[in-house]
Structure 1
Amino acid sequence: MNAETVRTVVRVERRGHVGIVTIDRPERRNALNLQVKRDLVEHLEALAGDDAVSAVVLTGSESCFVAGTDIGEMSTMRPNDHVRLDTDRVFHVVRQLSKPVIAAVEGYALGGGCELALACDIIIAAEDAKFGQPEIRVGIMPGAGGTQRLLRAAGRYKTLLWSLTGDMIPAGDAYMANVVSELVPTGQALTRAIELGGQIAAMPPLAVQSIRDAVRLGADVPIDTALALERRYFERLFDSDDQKEGMRAFLEKRAPHYRGN
């Protein structure tokens, strides 16, 4: 067994109510192999069950988010291997996590790394970061949300341009195409993501979850259905203690104290 298979490739820490998950495989530019994916799932699910954590930041070590999926490991896989090993589970876990997930992107977010960022709720990117779906250059295509997430964010024409050429996408272009939430100076993505995580953590948890659900579920249904869904979430919040506390605090000109009920 080599050293890489036994050392920790995903680190977790907590700052206030923000959990920080760092992919730490710098010798491969944090490429996603099966171990990294398994460790990510384990740590993300643990943070989801931690009542002290209200938001999660996902990042990579040494100025690189994730430069892709490990081609050396993937090159010999057959279709059934992907099914048997559940190679896309981590992307589903990120998308469906019960708490907001913020990607802090420095350096490269390519292939599976781009798809991992796209699975998050918010993407904070350094101004010189690079995104991309280069799978076509090794004979395959995006398979964990790359075509569909880009399609819904940037539209058909940008998605086909980027996916059919495999070209890198400068962070500024990704921002202009609504793929990136916010651009920050190089080296500041993690700091800004943690700051945002703390800001969201201070919000009423039921409202945070309702907004995420309304956006996620409403994106792929007709507008009338989405509006009805939004209205139901809105109305349901009026049965929460946090709604009463929030409005009472506003009227009394004081800071609210939310409890998540």
Structure 2
Amino acid sequence: MTTVELIETSEPGSGVRLIRLNRPSRLNALSGDLLVELATELHACSASDEIRAVVLTGDERAFSAGADVHEMAAAGIDAIYGPRRLNAWKAIDAFDKPLIAAVEGIAFGGGHELVMLCDIVVAGAKARFAQPEIDLGSLPGDGGTQRLPRSLSKAQAMRLVLTGEAIDAATAERWGLVSDLVPAGEAVQCAVEIAARIAAKAPVAARLAKQAVRTAYETALSAGLDAERQQVRLSFQTKDHDEGVEAFMTKRKPIFQGR
């Protein structure tokens, strides 16, 4: 059985790809095979002119329970930092189009770290988030100790990492880990709707905007501002920018072609 499932959205031609993690017997634990399949599918989405935004989800019980502890028991540190898994994780992190997480159930450990790789996070009311690696005598190893302090206060990040305790969706929204909180069972629908709105925008500009915002997490302010200006210059060179300006001036809806 494939560990990554492609789901047709309710609006064919919307430019949205819905990807579902598909290891229900292990609560969508992030095995090496699953991460490689996910990286492969995202690479195909990146290369497709038809796909402009991606929604990533699990099922009603779990977005993902985290790293596969069975693999860790068998292979030790290589289960986490072996080149095959590590390269897949880096490829997912490098995905250049808008990526939206739709979270129902638990997003623990590596599952929560995968959520943090997404650009927008929609959570059902019963979702829960945690970094429980300390209960295994370790610490977050897929970016949690670095990405959490960039989204939360130091105290909030320390609480998650040092206690291993879960927070509910309402707390995650209040702390800034979640952008949209919806009734349980409605996360995918909301995420697809957001993705469709993004997909209707100029796709080159969307990719450049994503890169510019992410730069803020990785550089000093002055370097980030320089990067932002460069992305704006690139956007001005696209036909979509010309189309957007012309459409605004003539009071019509723009038709973006990704050029």
TM-score, length-scaled by structure 2: 0.93
Aligned match of 1:236: 234
Aligned match of 1:4: none
* Post-superposition CA distance 1:136-166 (Å, at most 9, x none): 0011111001111111000211111110000
TM-superposed deviation, 1:80? 4.5
TM-superposed deviation, 1:81? 5.2
SS of residue paired to 1:32 = coil
Are residues 198 and 140 of structure 1, via their aligned partners in 2, closer, same or farther at CA, if it must alter by over 3 Å?
Answer: same
Aligned match of 1:68: 66
> Quick one: distance in 2 between partners of 1:86 and 1:178?
32
Correspondence for 2:116 among 118, 128, 140? 118
Aligned match of 1:105: 103
Unaligned runs of 5+ in 1: 1-6
1:34 aligned to 2:28? no
1:11 aligned to 2:5? yes
Correspondence for 2:23 among 22, 25, 28? 25
TM-superposed deviation, 1:61? 2.4
> Quick one: distance in 1 between partners of 2:73 and 2:205?
44
SS of residue paired to 1:172 = helix
TM-score, length-scaled by structure 1: 0.92
Within a 5 Å distance, the mapping from 1:206-217 to structure 2 comes to 206-217=204-215
Correspondence for 2:94 among 93, 96, 115? 96
CA RMSD of aligned residues (A): 1.5
CA contact (8 A) 2:133 2:164 kept: yes
TM-superposed deviation, 1:99? 1.1
Give the stretch that moved more between structures: 100-109 or 235-244.
235-244
Within a 5 Å distance, the mapping from 1:56-205 to structure 2 comes to 56-80=54-78, 82-205=80-203
1:22 corresponds to which letter in structure 2?
R
Identity of matched residues, %? 38
TM-superposed deviation, 1:226? 1.4
1:65 corresponds to which letter in structure 2?
F
Unaligned runs of 5+ in 2: none
> Quick one: distance in 2 between partners of 1:172 and 1:43?
31
CA contact (8 A) 2:72 2:80 kept: no
> Quick one: distance in 2 between partners of 1:45 and 1:234?
25
CA contact (8 A) 1:218 1:229 kept: no
SS of residue paired to 2:181 = strand
Are residues 146 and 258 of structure 1, via their aligned partners in 2, closer, same or farther at CA, if it must alter by over 3 Å?
Answer: same
TM-superposed deviation, 1:74? 1.1
Aligned match of 2:247: 249
> Quick one: distance in 2 between partners of 1:101 and 1:54?
9
* Post-superposition CA distance 1:174-232 (Å, at most 9, x none): 11111111111110100011111111110001210111111112322221221222122
